[in-house]
Amino acid sequence: MPKITHIIRADIELSQQPVQELCDVIAAVLPAYRGMEKEILIKLREAIDDILNKIEGGEMRNGNDPAPGRNK
C-alpha cells in the first residue's frame, strides 16, 4: 500500500525581504489545515511574542545563544 505524505519544501531567498518570504511560507502551509487557520496563526503569534520577549529581555544574543551568566 502506498504511503502518501504531504510535504512542502521551501527555498527561502535570504537576500530578499525576510518578512515576505516567511509570510509566503505560512500562506503555503495554511491551506493544508483548513478550518484551523485562526488557531495556527494565534499559536504562531504567541511563539513570536515569546521570542521577542526573550530578545527584549536580553536573553538572546547572536541568534539563540543565552547571555552569559543568565539562566534560561
pLDDT digits (tens, 9 = 90+) for 11-69: 888 888 999 999 999 999 999 999 999 999 999 999 999 999 999 998 655 555 554 44
Any long-range contacts for 20-25 (C-beta under 8 Å, 24+ apart)? none
Which residues, in sequence order, are CB contacts of 70 under 8 Å at separation 6+? 58, 59
1-12: per-residue pLDDT in tens?
Answer: 888 888 888 888
The pLDDT of residue 72 is above 50: no
pLDDT of residue 62: 54
